[in-house]
Structures are given as C-alpha cells and as structure tokens.
Structure 1
C-alpha cells in the first residue's frame, strides 16, 4: 500500500517573511497603533534584502490596512477599525458610544410621504399610505460613515419630530419615548457602486463600492416598525458577526 504523499506549506518569499514578521509584531502588540514601523533602510539592513522587496512587504500590510504611510515620515501602525456586531439588535450610536467613539447624525430629511410599493410591502401597509421618511448622514469620530434612509409608520414617525435626532438612535427612541419594545430584525447585505448623491455625502468618488444593508425591524409583537436602507463606507467602519456550527 502506497503511503499518502506528505503535504507541506510552501516557503515564504522574502517579502512574505518580512510582512509576516511585522504582522506578528502588530498582532502581539509589540508595535501599537500609531507606532512608527521600522524604515525601509532599517528593514533592508535587518533582512539583507533590496528596497523593492521591503516595499512589497509594506505594500501588502498597507493594502490590508494594518499600516498607513505619511509622506516624508514613514509608515505607522493603523488603529483597528471601529465595528458593530450584527448578532445583536442595537443602534449605531448605542454600539459605538459603548466602545468610546463619538457619533453624530446630520438630518437631511424628515417628512411624511406616500409609501412606495417596496416600503408598503415591508411595513405591511397599503401602497400610498402616508409614512414618515428620514434621511440622515451618520458620523463616527467626525467622519461620515453612512447615509441612512428610514421609513416608519406615520403613527410612530410623526412623533419623532419632537425628538433630538442628532445624537440618538431611532431604536432607542422607539423603545423609550414611543413605548415600542423591539423584537427582531431581518437583514440583507451586499456591495453596490455608490450613486453620485450618496458618494458626495460620504466623501467618495461616484461609483466607489459601498456596503448596502437593507434592514426591517419588528417590534416585540412581530409588527414591522422600521424599514431601512443603509449605505456604508467600508474603509472607516466594519460589521462583524459570530457564527456557530449547529
């Protein structure tokens, strides 16, 4: 009987070895956020390699957003991206403020309008029923990270006009001021090219990819209360989800 062939991991290239050595130092905390990474000349001397090899390694780390470059000063360790867990139903400000980040909402629109076919279907209302429509730009640590479109039944949304929408989540206001405990939400996530109006709000070039989230939130009794389309920059912020194998 022939023994199975042993498999082995191919050896790292020279630039791969430098990249992985630096990655390990960052992950272990030897190099901390905003620490300066050894210069190209220092890495050339340490590893006995050419400048192009060092630049390949640093380029890989920059592409992975583990480091960033400052012209004339060198490369520095990037801070971890802020993130929100999707395995909990919580508002953006609720999640970010709990981890020490500042949030702010710029309200672009708050009005009553007839429900489109898609909005009416989501909120289980007849087409053309008046609903409350909101549009906001959400900021994280003074940078725009998402443009949010929200539609709520008029009975709930009209009462939001009396609330401060600049620093609070709709979820929090639904549960406190509007006495509407939340139950669950359904999400669909994809990537889309940013339309011109959304790209301008997010300081992006038109057509750049953004993360698109469609979310329908239900109250504790299962009634749909908040239908949303969120367009998010993926370079300043990320969503995370823990999955369990049954």
Structure 2
C-alpha cells in the first residue's frame, strides 16, 4: 500500500498508518492473537519511516488494540474480557452464570505426581505424589483459564469421576467436603508450555497467574493449585468492607496474606 501521501506532516502520516491498521483489525485481516507485520515490513509497505510506524503502533497499544510482547512482536489484542469476583473465581458454575457468562470445562488429564513448580513453595505443599487434575475453563467458547489442581491421592473414585464435568471444589462439596478457607497469591508471569497451546498465544505473552491453597472440612483433603489466564481475557474484582477502605487497612490486610 503506497497511497499515504509523503508530503503530509509527520503527524498526519502516523495517523494514516494508525487508521489503516485499525481498519485491517476491524475487517479481520489481522484477527485476535494474530501478529502484526514487523515495523520494517510496514515501513516498506506504507512508504514511511520506521519512526512513523512505531508511533502508530504505540498509539494502538495505548488504546488497547494491540499488545507488544518483548522479543516476540506486536499482536492483536483479544477485545473481550471476562470479569470474575475474586472470592468465587474458582467455583462454581452458578457463580459464573450470575456474573454473565456460561462456563464449560475440558478435562486434560488426571495423573499422580509431585508438585514441582517452585512458585508453589509459598504454600509448603507436601513432597509426596498427589492427584493432579488439569483442565481448561472456557467462557462462551473462549478459553480463559488453565487450571492445575493438586489434592490427596486418596480421594475416592466417585469424587474423581466428577472432575471431568465440575470444578474440583464443586465436586468435593457435593460429597460433603466443605471449603473452609482459600489463600491466594496473585502475580504475573510470561506464558510458557501448555498455555501457549491452549490459548493460542506466543511464548512470553503476559499472563495473570493465581496460586491457591484451599483447606476443607476434611483434614486429609487440602487442594493446591495454579491457574493462568491471558491478561486480556480475564480480570478479577473484589469488594472490600467499609472498614478496609482506607489505605492503611488495605496494606495491613495485604501483608497478612502474603
């Protein structure tokens, strides 16, 4: 494409590049998760400088249309984002429906293995092999979470059979194993391994990561787990009681759980 006027001002040129890229995204030329051509290729195609192209790309990143992954390139950002309340993000189906989307589960595997992820060390998990339930959670057909949950390998077979169609916590509660406490650690991490395949994203893509430890009414059943989601597909909200609204209270509460 060479119909961008070289005689136009630099501002006009970068705005024209920006608008053309927006048009292509809206037309589906570049779909969600697709890479945008390199700065060099766009510069050659549009007949403008690399600085002009970079300026247009920065505008689109700031607007939330594109996202840049260091060392990987620039990608079209998934525009739909699902919101879940922090205290119910792992369960249940009814809570998810109440929040406006229809969840479905895909069981990936049930194995017996040790927790080897060093990030889980914050919970001091046992060294012995545990039952590991891996699954993908979809919202209206869009994969939004990859969950690896570890629990006692002594859980009865009738509970294990339900893991394919229910959240682990829902299956436990159906068998009178009630959730008593949930501890969460939330951070960011680049996408690696299975996440790339499940979400169709490049290695290094920014991910929201939640580590959890759930204690139950059965002293022998504690659930440890790790959930990852692309930052542009899932967000969490939390409601604070009135006494926790001031900054000092909030910082104190955060320190107590980390």
**TM superposition score normalised by structure 1:** 0.59
Query: How many residue pairs get matched?
Result: 174
> Which aligned runs of 4 or more in structure 1 are off by greater than 6 angstroms?
117-121
After superposition, the Cα gap between the structure-2 partners of 1:208 and 1:101, relative to the gap in structure 1 and judged at 3 Å, is same
- Distance in 2 (CA, whole Å) between partners of 1:98 and 1:90 is 14
Partner of 1:144: 143
What are the ranges of 5 or more consecutive residues in structure 2 without an aligned counterpart? Answer: 1-55, 67-78, 250-258
- Distance in 2 (CA, whole Å) between partners of 1:208 and 1:111 is 27
Please, which of 165, 168, 171 is the counterpart of residue 169 of structure 2? 171
Q: Rg bigger for which structure?
A: 1
After superposition, the Cα gap between the structure-2 partners of 1:223 and 1:153, relative to the gap in structure 1 and judged at 3 Å, is closer
Please, which of 220, 236, 239 is the counterpart of residue 239 of structure 1? 236
Is 2:205–2:230's contact at 8 Å kept on the other side of the alignment? no
Partner of 1:91: 91
- Distance in 2 (CA, whole Å) between partners of 1:190 and 1:121 is 13
1:1-246 map, 5 Å = 59=60, 62-63=63-64, 81-88=81-88, 91=91, 93-114=93-114, 116=116, 122=123, 125=126, 127-128=127-128, 130-156=129-155, 158-163=157-162, 165-166=164-165, 168-176=166-174, 178-220=175-217, 225-243=222-240, 244-245=244-245, 246=249
Is 1:122–1:224's contact at 8 Å kept on the other side of the alignment? no
- Distance in 2 (CA, whole Å) between partners of 1:121 and 1:109 is 25
- Distance in 1 (CA, whole Å) between partners of 2:156 and 2:199 is 25
1:195-233 Cα deviation digits (max 9, x unpaired): 032111111111101001100011147766210011112
1:184-204 Cα deviation digits (max 9, x unpaired): 111111110100321111111
Q: Secondary structure at the match of 1:155?
A: coil
Is 1:183–1:221's contact at 8 Å kept on the other side of the alignment? no
- Distance in 1 (CA, whole Å) between partners of 2:114 and 2:189 is 26
- Distance in 1 (CA, whole Å) between partners of 2:117 and 2:65 is 41
Is the helix fraction higher in 1 or 2? Answer: 2
1:16-44 Cα deviation digits (max 9, x unpaired): xxxxxxxxxxxxxxxxxxxxxxxxxxxxx
What are the ranges of 5 or more consecutive residues in structure 1 without an aligned counterpart? Answer: 1-54, 66-77
After superposition, the Cα gap between the structure-2 partners of 1:114 and 1:222, relative to the gap in structure 1 and judged at 3 Å, is closer
